[in-house]
Amino acid sequence: MSERRKLHRRHLIFYLRLQDARTGELMGFLGDISPKGLLMISEQPLAVGRTLHLQLLLPHEIEGRNAVELEAVVRRCAPDYNPQFHAIGMEVNELEPAVLKVLEELVQEMGFKD
């Protein structure tokens, strides 16, 4: 783990859809997540520094929600292992406690066990 990354990320068993919270346009798929950041796998590259208002579609209802919204800033964009895709690292802005609880439950339920 790099020195810059202080929080452990959890890789998910399958990818969840991330879409633009305002338009509903598919932006990519969630690759991994921590309380402060996420990795999105996308067909389109995104500019570093761009702020996104995202909606993460949940696989089923968690804490009474089918989706959560979050704001994230693109911190890196690089070709993925598959050159048809881009790995986009994002820093998540402050989360409401209720959203954080949903994400923690999602990772516990769907994440690979360490």
What are the pLDDT digits (tens) for 91-107? 999 888 999 898 888 87
Half-sphere exposure of 89 (CA within 13 A, CB side): 11
In the predicted structure, residue 1 carries a pLDDT above the cut 50:
no
- How far apart, in whole angstroms, are the C-alpha atoms of residue 114 and residue 5? 17
Q: What is the rounded average pLDDT of the residues 73-82?
A: 94
Per-residue model confidence (pLDDT) at position 75: 98
Among 49, 54, 26, smallest CA distance to 38 is for 54
CATH of 10-110, picked from 3.40.50.1390, 2.40.10.220, 2.30.30.60, 1.10.287.1260, is 2.40.10.220
- How far apart, in whole angstroms, are the C-alpha atoms of residue 110 and residue 114? 12
What are the pLDDT digits (tens) for 27-65? 999 988 877 889 999 999 999 999 999 999 998 899 999
Global pTM reads 0.81
Per-residue model confidence (pLDDT) at position 35: 74
Let me know: does 16 contact 58? Beta carbons within 8 Å.
yes
**CA 110: distance to chain centroid?**
14
Q: What are the sequence ranges of the domains in the chain?
A: 10-110
